[in-house]
Amino acid sequence: MEIRALKGTKDIFGEEMRKWLDMEETIRNLCNDFGFSQIRTPIFEFTNLFQRGVGETTDIVQKEMYSFVDKGDNAITLKPESTAPVVRSYLEHNMGADVQPIKLYYMSPTFRYERPQAGRQRQFHQFGVEMFGTDSPTADAEIISIGYELLRRIGLNKVELHINSLGDTECRKKYNETLKAFLESKKDGLCPLCNERREKNPLRVLDCKNEACQEMFKDAPTVLDTLGDECKAHFEKVQELLTAMEIPFVVDPKIVRGLDYYTKTVFEFVSNEIGAQGTVCGGGRYNCLVEEIGGKPTPAVGFGAGMERLILAKEAENGNTLPPATRDLFLGYRGEGATVWAYKLVNELRKEGVSAESDHLQRSVKAQMKYANKIGAKYSAIIGESELENKVINLKNMQTGEEKEVAFDELVTVMKQELNK
Protein backbone atom coordinates (compact mmCIF):
# COMPACT_ATOMS: atom_id res chain seq x y z
CA MET A 1 0.00 0.00 0.00
CA GLU A 2 1.20 3.45 -0.85
CA ILE A 3 1.61 5.54 2.28
CA ARG A 4 0.21 9.05 2.03
CA ALA A 5 -0.50 11.98 4.32
CA LEU A 6 -3.99 11.93 5.85
CA LYS A 7 -6.83 13.68 4.03
CA GLY A 8 -7.13 17.28 5.15
CA THR A 9 -3.48 17.54 6.25
CA LYS A 10 -0.61 19.20 4.43
CA ASP A 11 3.17 19.13 4.38
CA ILE A 12 4.64 22.61 4.50
CA PHE A 13 8.07 23.01 2.90
CA GLY A 14 10.09 24.94 0.32
CA GLU A 15 8.58 28.23 -0.92
CA GLU A 16 5.39 27.58 1.06
CA MET A 17 7.45 27.25 4.27
CA ARG A 18 9.03 30.64 3.59
CA LYS A 19 5.55 32.19 3.45
CA TRP A 20 4.76 30.59 6.81
CA LEU A 21 7.94 31.81 8.44
CA ASP A 22 7.24 35.29 7.10
CA MET A 23 3.68 35.23 8.50
CA GLU A 24 4.91 33.92 11.85
CA GLU A 25 7.50 36.67 12.08
CA THR A 26 4.89 39.31 11.26
CA ILE A 27 2.71 37.88 14.03
CA ARG A 28 5.52 37.78 16.60
CA ASN A 29 6.43 41.40 15.90
CA LEU A 30 2.78 42.42 15.98
CA CYS A 31 2.12 40.79 19.35
CA ASN A 32 5.26 42.29 20.76
CA ASP A 33 4.06 45.75 19.72
CA PHE A 34 0.75 45.14 21.51
CA GLY A 35 2.40 43.72 24.65
CA PHE A 36 1.24 40.11 24.28
CA SER A 37 3.57 37.24 25.19
CA GLN A 38 3.54 33.82 23.63
CA ILE A 39 2.08 30.69 25.23
CA ARG A 40 2.40 27.10 23.98
CA THR A 41 -0.01 24.57 25.41
CA PRO A 42 0.11 20.83 24.64
CA ILE A 43 -1.36 19.42 21.43
CA PHE A 44 -3.78 17.26 23.43
CA GLU A 45 -5.88 17.73 26.55
CA PHE A 46 -8.44 15.74 28.50
CA THR A 47 -11.58 15.58 26.38
CA ASN A 48 -13.77 17.04 29.11
CA LEU A 49 -11.91 20.37 28.89
CA PHE A 50 -13.40 20.90 25.44
CA GLN A 51 -16.78 19.40 26.30
CA ARG A 52 -17.08 21.94 29.10
CA GLY A 53 -15.17 24.80 27.52
CA VAL A 54 -16.39 24.74 23.93
CA GLY A 55 -19.90 23.50 24.71
CA GLU A 56 -21.76 20.22 24.23
CA THR A 57 -24.09 21.64 21.58
CA THR A 58 -21.43 23.07 19.27
CA ASP A 59 -20.42 21.59 15.90
CA ILE A 60 -16.91 21.21 17.25
CA VAL A 61 -17.86 18.96 20.17
CA GLN A 62 -20.70 17.15 18.41
CA LYS A 63 -19.00 16.40 15.12
CA GLU A 64 -15.44 17.60 14.75
CA MET A 65 -13.19 16.42 17.58
CA TYR A 66 -10.33 13.97 17.17
CA SER A 67 -10.89 12.07 20.39
CA PHE A 68 -9.31 8.82 21.49
CA VAL A 69 -8.57 6.73 24.54
CA ASP A 70 -4.87 6.37 25.29
CA LYS A 71 -3.09 3.34 26.73
CA GLY A 72 -3.76 4.60 30.25
CA ASP A 73 -7.52 4.75 29.55
CA ASN A 74 -7.58 8.55 29.48
CA ALA A 75 -10.13 10.23 27.21
CA ILE A 76 -8.02 12.62 25.18
CA THR A 77 -8.69 15.09 22.36
CA LEU A 78 -6.37 16.83 19.90
CA LYS A 79 -7.04 20.50 20.44
CA PRO A 80 -9.86 21.77 18.18
CA GLU A 81 -9.24 25.34 19.39
CA SER A 82 -6.84 26.92 21.85
CA THR A 83 -8.91 29.19 24.07
CA ALA A 84 -10.02 26.42 26.45
CA PRO A 85 -6.41 25.14 26.82
CA VAL A 86 -5.14 28.68 27.47
CA VAL A 87 -7.83 29.15 30.12
CA ARG A 88 -6.85 25.81 31.67
CA SER A 89 -3.26 26.99 31.78
CA TYR A 90 -4.25 30.39 33.22
CA LEU A 91 -5.95 28.56 36.09
CA GLU A 92 -3.37 25.82 36.56
CA HIS A 93 -0.59 28.40 36.91
CA ASN A 94 -2.66 30.78 38.97
CA MET A 95 -2.05 33.63 36.54
CA GLY A 96 -5.04 35.37 38.07
CA ALA A 97 -2.88 36.16 41.12
CA ASP A 98 -0.43 38.08 38.92
CA VAL A 99 -0.85 41.69 37.81
CA GLN A 100 -3.80 41.86 35.41
CA PRO A 101 -4.50 41.94 32.56
CA ILE A 102 -2.72 38.82 31.35
CA LYS A 103 -2.11 39.18 27.61
CA LEU A 104 -1.20 36.00 25.73
CA TYR A 105 -0.94 34.85 22.13
CA TYR A 106 -0.42 31.49 20.49
CA MET A 107 0.24 29.95 17.08
CA SER A 108 -0.84 26.36 17.16
CA PRO A 109 -1.78 23.34 15.07
CA THR A 110 -5.52 22.77 15.48
CA PHE A 111 -7.52 19.65 14.64
CA ARG A 112 -11.09 19.35 13.43
CA TYR A 113 -12.71 16.45 11.61
CA GLU A 114 -14.37 18.42 8.80
CA ARG A 115 -14.84 17.98 5.07
CA PRO A 116 -11.58 19.25 3.57
CA GLN A 117 -11.88 21.98 0.91
CA ALA A 118 -10.08 25.18 -0.04
CA GLY A 119 -9.28 26.98 3.23
CA ARG A 120 -10.63 24.10 5.33
CA GLN A 121 -8.36 21.35 6.60
CA ARG A 122 -8.39 18.73 9.34
CA GLN A 123 -5.07 19.87 10.72
CA PHE A 124 -4.84 23.63 10.35
CA HIS A 125 -3.13 26.38 12.31
CA GLN A 126 -4.53 29.15 14.41
CA PHE A 127 -2.99 32.36 15.57
CA GLY A 128 -4.91 33.71 18.53
CA VAL A 129 -4.76 36.27 21.31
CA GLU A 130 -6.40 36.23 24.74
CA MET A 131 -6.64 38.94 27.39
CA PHE A 132 -7.73 38.02 30.92
CA GLY A 133 -8.77 40.05 33.94
CA THR A 134 -10.69 43.01 32.57
CA ASP A 135 -14.22 43.67 31.36
CA SER A 136 -13.25 47.07 30.01
CA PRO A 137 -14.42 47.87 26.47
CA THR A 138 -10.86 49.11 25.87
CA ALA A 139 -9.78 45.45 26.02
CA ASP A 140 -12.34 44.45 23.38
CA ALA A 141 -11.17 47.33 21.20
CA GLU A 142 -7.50 46.45 21.70
CA ILE A 143 -8.14 42.82 20.74
CA ILE A 144 -10.02 43.87 17.60
CA SER A 145 -7.29 46.37 16.76
CA ILE A 146 -4.65 43.61 16.81
CA GLY A 147 -6.63 41.73 14.18
CA TYR A 148 -7.06 44.89 12.15
CA GLU A 149 -3.38 45.82 12.40
CA LEU A 150 -2.33 42.31 11.34
CA LEU A 151 -4.50 42.57 8.24
CA ARG A 152 -3.07 46.01 7.53
CA ARG A 153 0.51 44.76 7.90
CA ILE A 154 -0.05 41.88 5.50
CA GLY A 155 -1.74 44.22 3.04
CA LEU A 156 -5.32 42.97 3.16
CA ASN A 157 -7.65 45.81 2.25
CA LYS A 158 -10.58 43.78 1.05
CA VAL A 159 -11.53 42.54 4.50
CA GLU A 160 -14.62 43.62 6.39
CA LEU A 161 -15.00 43.75 10.14
CA HIS A 162 -18.42 42.64 11.43
CA ILE A 163 -19.24 43.18 15.08
CA ASN A 164 -22.14 42.30 17.31
CA SER A 165 -22.96 41.98 20.99
CA LEU A 166 -24.48 38.87 22.52
CA GLY A 167 -25.06 40.53 25.89
CA ASP A 168 -24.41 38.99 29.29
CA THR A 169 -26.18 35.99 30.83
CA GLU A 170 -29.16 38.17 31.77
CA CYS A 171 -29.77 39.63 28.30
CA ARG A 172 -29.04 36.24 26.77
CA LYS A 173 -31.70 34.58 28.90
CA LYS A 174 -34.27 37.10 27.70
CA TYR A 175 -33.15 36.78 24.10
CA ASN A 176 -33.18 32.98 24.24
CA GLU A 177 -36.87 33.08 25.17
CA THR A 178 -37.76 35.41 22.27
CA LEU A 179 -35.63 33.38 19.90
CA LYS A 180 -37.09 30.05 21.02
CA ALA A 181 -40.58 31.35 20.31
CA PHE A 182 -39.47 32.55 16.87
CA LEU A 183 -37.80 29.22 16.03
CA GLU A 184 -40.81 27.30 17.27
CA SER A 185 -42.92 29.16 14.73
CA LYS A 186 -40.51 28.07 11.97
CA LYS A 187 -39.96 24.50 13.10
CA ASP A 188 -41.54 22.83 10.05
CA GLY A 189 -38.98 24.38 7.71
CA LEU A 190 -35.88 23.93 9.86
CA CYS A 191 -33.29 21.19 9.31
CA PRO A 192 -33.21 18.29 11.82
CA LEU A 193 -30.08 19.58 13.59
CA CYS A 194 -31.63 23.03 14.10
CA ASN A 195 -34.77 21.44 15.49
CA GLU A 196 -32.66 19.37 17.82
CA ARG A 197 -30.76 22.43 19.09
CA ARG A 198 -33.72 24.81 19.13
CA GLU A 199 -34.67 24.14 22.75
CA LYS A 200 -31.25 23.54 24.28
CA ASN A 201 -29.26 26.24 22.52
CA PRO A 202 -31.35 28.50 20.29
CA LEU A 203 -28.45 30.88 19.59
CA ARG A 204 -26.45 28.05 18.06
CA VAL A 205 -29.26 27.46 15.59
CA LEU A 206 -28.55 30.84 13.97
CA ASP A 207 -25.05 29.58 13.09
CA CYS A 208 -26.45 26.76 10.90
CA LYS A 209 -24.65 26.39 7.57
CA ASN A 210 -27.83 25.30 5.76
CA GLU A 211 -28.96 27.96 3.28
CA ALA A 212 -32.66 27.22 3.58
CA CYS A 213 -32.35 27.72 7.35
CA GLN A 214 -30.40 30.95 6.92
CA GLU A 215 -33.12 32.25 4.62
CA MET A 216 -35.63 31.78 7.42
CA PHE A 217 -33.47 33.53 9.99
CA LYS A 218 -33.54 36.76 7.99
CA ASP A 219 -36.36 38.15 10.10
CA ALA A 220 -35.31 36.56 13.40
CA PRO A 221 -35.37 38.90 16.40
CA THR A 222 -31.87 40.23 17.11
CA VAL A 223 -30.03 40.07 20.38
CA LEU A 224 -29.29 43.78 20.10
CA ASP A 225 -32.97 44.49 20.86
CA THR A 226 -32.73 42.76 24.22
CA LEU A 227 -29.41 44.17 25.47
CA GLY A 228 -29.55 45.59 29.00
CA ASP A 229 -28.22 49.08 29.77
CA GLU A 230 -24.77 47.96 30.89
CA CYS A 231 -24.20 45.75 27.84
CA LYS A 232 -25.55 48.43 25.53
CA ALA A 233 -23.16 51.03 26.99
CA HIS A 234 -20.27 48.55 26.74
CA PHE A 235 -21.01 47.86 23.08
CA GLU A 236 -21.33 51.58 22.33
CA LYS A 237 -17.98 52.28 23.97
CA VAL A 238 -16.32 49.56 21.89
CA GLN A 239 -17.71 51.22 18.76
CA GLU A 240 -16.57 54.65 19.90
CA LEU A 241 -13.04 53.32 20.49
CA LEU A 242 -12.92 51.57 17.10
CA THR A 243 -14.04 54.77 15.39
CA ALA A 244 -11.35 56.73 17.24
CA MET A 245 -8.76 54.15 16.13
CA GLU A 246 -10.01 54.54 12.54
CA ILE A 247 -11.06 50.91 12.30
CA PRO A 248 -14.06 50.60 9.97
CA PHE A 249 -16.77 48.12 11.01
CA VAL A 250 -20.36 47.15 10.41
CA VAL A 251 -22.73 46.10 13.17
CA ASP A 252 -24.04 42.72 12.06
CA PRO A 253 -26.58 41.07 14.38
CA LYS A 254 -26.15 37.78 12.50
CA ILE A 255 -22.69 37.20 13.97
CA VAL A 256 -23.20 34.67 16.77
CA ARG A 257 -19.97 32.62 16.42
CA GLY A 258 -19.67 28.86 16.52
CA LEU A 259 -18.66 28.44 20.15
CA ASP A 260 -20.79 28.63 23.25
CA TYR A 261 -18.52 30.69 25.42
CA TYR A 262 -19.04 34.16 24.01
CA THR A 263 -20.68 37.05 25.88
CA LYS A 264 -20.99 40.73 24.93
CA THR A 265 -18.76 41.66 21.97
CA VAL A 266 -18.30 39.17 19.13
CA PHE A 267 -16.66 39.90 15.80
CA GLU A 268 -15.40 38.47 12.53
CA PHE A 269 -13.04 39.68 9.85
CA VAL A 270 -14.29 38.42 6.50
CA SER A 271 -12.35 38.43 3.23
CA ASN A 272 -14.21 38.44 -0.06
CA GLU A 273 -11.12 37.26 -1.90
CA ILE A 274 -10.73 33.65 -0.85
CA GLY A 275 -14.06 32.10 -1.70
CA ALA A 276 -16.64 30.55 0.55
CA GLN A 277 -14.39 30.07 3.58
CA GLY A 278 -13.94 33.80 3.93
CA THR A 279 -13.75 34.27 7.69
CA VAL A 280 -10.08 34.81 8.42
CA CYS A 281 -10.46 35.80 12.06
CA GLY A 282 -13.19 35.53 14.66
CA GLY A 283 -13.47 36.20 18.33
CA GLY A 284 -15.08 38.05 21.15
CA ARG A 285 -15.54 38.38 24.86
CA TYR A 286 -16.03 35.27 26.99
CA ASN A 287 -16.73 36.36 30.53
CA CYS A 288 -18.13 33.00 31.71
CA LEU A 289 -15.51 30.57 30.40
CA VAL A 290 -12.95 30.80 33.20
CA GLU A 291 -15.65 30.02 35.75
CA GLU A 292 -16.99 27.24 33.53
CA ILE A 293 -13.57 25.59 33.59
CA GLY A 294 -13.38 25.82 37.37
CA GLY A 295 -11.92 29.24 38.20
CA LYS A 296 -13.24 32.40 39.82
CA PRO A 297 -15.41 34.55 37.53
CA THR A 298 -12.81 36.28 35.31
CA PRO A 299 -13.59 38.46 32.33
CA ALA A 300 -11.67 37.69 29.14
CA VAL A 301 -11.62 38.53 25.45
CA GLY A 302 -9.75 37.13 22.45
CA PHE A 303 -9.80 35.92 18.87
CA GLY A 304 -8.62 33.05 16.70
CA ALA A 305 -7.39 33.49 13.14
CA GLY A 306 -6.81 30.76 10.57
CA MET A 307 -3.21 31.01 9.43
CA GLU A 308 -3.84 29.09 6.19
CA ARG A 309 -6.58 31.57 5.32
CA LEU A 310 -4.41 34.55 6.22
CA ILE A 311 -1.67 33.27 3.90
CA LEU A 312 -4.21 32.53 1.14
CA ALA A 313 -5.86 35.94 1.47
CA LYS A 314 -2.54 37.75 1.50
CA GLU A 315 -1.49 36.06 -1.71
CA ALA A 316 -4.91 36.50 -3.35
CA GLU A 317 -4.77 40.23 -2.73
CA ASN A 318 -1.09 41.00 -3.29
CA GLY A 319 0.48 38.04 -5.09
CA ASN A 320 3.70 36.57 -3.75
CA THR A 321 5.49 39.51 -2.14
CA LEU A 322 8.38 37.52 -0.68
CA PRO A 323 11.82 38.43 -2.01
CA PRO A 324 13.51 35.35 -3.53
CA ALA A 325 15.63 33.21 -1.23
CA THR A 326 19.33 34.11 -1.23
CA ARG A 327 22.64 32.80 0.08
CA ASP A 328 25.62 35.07 0.71
CA LEU A 329 28.27 32.92 -0.94
CA PHE A 330 28.69 29.78 -2.97
CA LEU A 331 32.28 28.57 -2.67
CA GLY A 332 32.90 25.76 -5.15
CA TYR A 333 36.06 23.78 -5.83
CA ARG A 334 37.84 21.57 -8.34
CA GLY A 335 40.21 18.79 -7.37
CA GLU A 336 40.71 16.78 -4.20
CA GLY A 337 43.11 19.21 -2.49
CA ALA A 338 40.62 22.06 -2.75
CA THR A 339 37.80 20.17 -1.00
CA VAL A 340 39.19 20.58 2.48
CA TRP A 341 39.94 24.27 1.93
CA ALA A 342 36.44 24.92 0.60
CA TYR A 343 34.84 23.37 3.67
CA LYS A 344 37.29 25.00 6.06
CA LEU A 345 36.49 28.45 4.63
CA VAL A 346 32.74 27.86 4.41
CA ASN A 347 32.76 26.83 8.06
CA GLU A 348 34.65 29.97 9.10
CA LEU A 349 32.17 32.13 7.21
CA ARG A 350 29.19 30.43 8.84
CA LYS A 351 30.69 30.97 12.29
CA GLU A 352 30.59 34.69 11.52
CA GLY A 353 26.98 34.60 10.34
CA VAL A 354 27.73 34.66 6.61
CA SER A 355 25.53 32.10 4.88
CA ALA A 356 27.72 29.97 2.66
CA GLU A 357 27.54 26.69 0.78
CA SER A 358 29.82 24.43 -1.16
CA ASP A 359 29.42 21.37 -3.40
CA HIS A 360 28.55 17.88 -2.13
CA LEU A 361 28.15 16.05 -5.43
CA GLN A 362 31.55 16.32 -7.14
CA ARG A 363 29.89 18.36 -9.86
CA SER A 364 31.68 20.05 -12.75
CA VAL A 365 32.53 23.73 -12.26
CA LYS A 366 29.78 24.61 -14.72
CA ALA A 367 27.21 22.59 -12.77
CA GLN A 368 28.42 24.13 -9.52
CA MET A 369 27.82 27.62 -10.92
CA LYS A 370 24.36 26.57 -12.02
CA TYR A 371 23.69 25.51 -8.45
CA ALA A 372 25.05 28.83 -7.17
CA ASN A 373 22.44 30.58 -9.33
CA LYS A 374 19.68 28.30 -8.17
CA ILE A 375 20.27 29.03 -4.49
CA GLY A 376 20.42 32.76 -5.20
CA ALA A 377 24.06 33.18 -4.20
CA LYS A 378 25.05 36.86 -3.99
CA TYR A 379 28.73 36.00 -4.43
CA SER A 380 30.57 32.99 -5.77
CA ALA A 381 34.08 31.69 -6.14
CA ILE A 382 35.77 28.46 -7.18
CA ILE A 383 38.93 27.06 -5.63
CA GLY A 384 40.96 25.49 -8.45
CA GLU A 385 44.63 24.50 -8.74
CA SER A 386 46.14 27.98 -9.01
CA GLU A 387 43.84 29.33 -6.29
CA LEU A 388 44.95 26.52 -4.06
CA GLU A 389 48.59 27.26 -4.78
CA ASN A 390 48.32 31.03 -4.15
CA LYS A 391 45.68 30.85 -1.41
CA VAL A 392 43.69 33.48 -3.27
CA ILE A 393 40.23 33.30 -4.92
CA ASN A 394 38.34 35.37 -7.47
CA LEU A 395 35.27 36.57 -5.61
CA LYS A 396 32.48 37.26 -8.08
CA ASN A 397 29.55 39.54 -7.39
CA MET A 398 26.76 37.56 -9.05
CA GLN A 399 24.63 40.62 -9.67
CA THR A 400 27.18 42.96 -11.27
CA GLY A 401 29.57 40.31 -12.59
CA GLU A 402 32.46 42.20 -10.97
CA GLU A 403 35.34 40.08 -9.70
CA LYS A 404 38.09 40.73 -7.24
CA GLU A 405 40.99 38.78 -5.80
CA VAL A 406 40.68 37.89 -2.15
CA ALA A 407 43.24 36.02 -0.07
CA PHE A 408 41.86 32.96 1.80
CA ASP A 409 42.62 34.52 5.17
CA GLU A 410 40.85 37.76 4.17
CA LEU A 411 37.67 36.09 2.95
CA VAL A 412 35.61 36.46 6.12
CA THR A 413 36.51 40.14 6.52
CA VAL A 414 35.91 40.94 2.87
CA MET A 415 32.59 39.09 2.75
CA LYS A 416 31.36 40.96 5.81
CA GLN A 417 32.40 44.28 4.24
CA GLU A 418 30.74 43.42 0.94
CA LEU A 419 27.47 42.41 2.61
CA ASN A 420 27.35 45.63 4.62
CA LYS A 421 27.63 47.82 1.54
**Residue numbers of the site for ligand ATP (CB under 6 A)?**
81, 112, 114, 119-121, 124, 126, 258, 277, 279-282, 304-306, 308-309
Residue 106 in marked binding region:
no
Query: How far apart, in whole angstroms, are the C-alpha atoms of residue 29 and residue 419?
Result: 25
Q: What are phi and psi of 30, to 5 degrees?
A: -60, -50
Residue 261 in marked binding region:
yes
Q: What are phi and psi of 118, to 5 degrees?
A: -55, 125
Q: Are the CB atoms for 263 and 168 separated by under 8 Å?
A: yes
Q: By C-beta, is 95 or 311 nearer to ligand ATP?
A: 311
Residue 320 CB, nearest distance to ligand ATP (Å)?
20
- Helix axes 229-244 and 137-153, enclosed angle (nearest 10): 30
Q: By C-beta, is 107 or 415 nearer to ligand ATP?
A: 107
C-alpha angle 232-234-236 in degrees, rounded to nearest 5: 70
Residue 243 in marked binding region:
no
Query: How far apart, in whole angstroms, are the C-alpha atoms of residue 225 and residue 249?
Result: 19
Helix (H) or strand (E) holding 380: strand 377-383
Residue 304 CB, nearest distance to ligand ATP (Å)?
4
Name the closest residue to ligand ATP (Cβ).
306
Neighbouring C-beta atoms of residue 387, cutoff 10 Å = 20
Residue 126 in marked binding region:
yes
Residue 214 CB, nearest distance to ligand ATP (Å)?
13
Residue 113 in marked binding region:
no
Query: How far apart, in whole angstroms, are the C-alpha atoms of residue 237 and residue 313?
Result: 30
Q: By C-beta, is 112 or 204 nearer to ligand ATP?
A: 112
Q: By C-beta, is 147 or 332 nearer to ligand ATP?
A: 147
HSE toward the beta carbon, residue 11, CA cutoff 13 A: 4
Q: By C-beta, is 7 or 360 nearer to ligand ATP?
A: 7
Query: How far apart, in whole angstroms, are the C-alpha atoms of residue 30 and residue 260?
Result: 28
Residue 125 CB, nearest distance to ligand ATP (Å)?
8
Residue 122 in marked binding region:
no
The contacts of residue 72 (CB under 8 Å, 6+ apart) are: none
Residue 82 in marked binding region:
yes
Residue 148 in marked binding region:
no
Residue 231 CB, nearest distance to ligand ATP (Å)?
22
The contacts of residue 48 (CB under 8 Å, 6+ apart) are: 75
Residue 279 CB, nearest distance to ligand ATP (Å)?
4
Q: By C-beta, is 279 or 287 nearer to ligand ATP?
A: 279
Binding residues: 81-83, 112, 126, 130, 257, 261-262
Binding residues for L-histidine: 81-83, 112, 126, 130, 257, 261-262
